[in-house]
């Protein structure tokens, strides 16, 4: 992964997928993201907590940050419409 691609990933962590620019989203198309499961406490947050080429990559990233993967939902990003 290039330094630019790595920086793009790091800038997306902690942000809502809805707040990504078109350029940022285009760079992440096809990547999997982990978002905390909806609860009344987390509903307003909906931040990207992990990004990876595979679900296993996302799980590894969550675990490396001390987060429990069972509290997250995973989805693959698609191009903005």
List pLDDT tens digits, range 42-66: 676 788 999 999 999 999 999 999 9
CB of 30 closer than 8 Å to CB of 77: yes
- The answer to the question of residue 42 being in a domain is yes
- The answer to the question of residue 18 being in a domain is yes
- The answer to the question of residue 24 being in a domain is yes
Position 30 scores a pLDDT of 94
Position 3 scores a pLDDT of 62
Position 1 scores a pLDDT of 57
Separation between Cα atoms, residue 80 and residue 24, nearest integer Å: 10
Distance of CA 59 to the CA centre of its chain: 11
CB of 34 closer than 8 Å to CB of 74: yes
Domain count, the chain: 1
- The answer to the question of residue 81 being in a domain is no
Return the structure tokens found at 53: 């080429």
List pLDDT tens digits, range 10-29: 889 999 998 999 999 998 99
- The answer to the question of residue 47 being in a domain is yes
- The answer to the question of residue 59 being in a domain is yes
DSSP string, 57-81: HHHHHHHHTT--GGGEEEEE-----
- The answer to the question of residue 7 being in a domain is yes
- The answer to the question of residue 10 being in a domain is yes
Domain enclosing residue 55, as ranges: 3-76
């Amino acid at each position: 992964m290039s330094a630019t691609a790595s920086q793009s990933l790091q800038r997306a962590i902690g942000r809502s997928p809805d707040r990504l620019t078109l350029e940022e989203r285009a760079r992440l198309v096809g990547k999997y993201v982990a978002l905390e499961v909806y609860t009344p406490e987390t509903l307003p947050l909906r931040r990207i907590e992990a990004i990876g080429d595979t679900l296993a990559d996302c799980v590894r990233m969550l675990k490396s940050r001390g987060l429990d993967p069972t509290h997250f939902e995973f989805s693959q990003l698609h191009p903005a419409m």
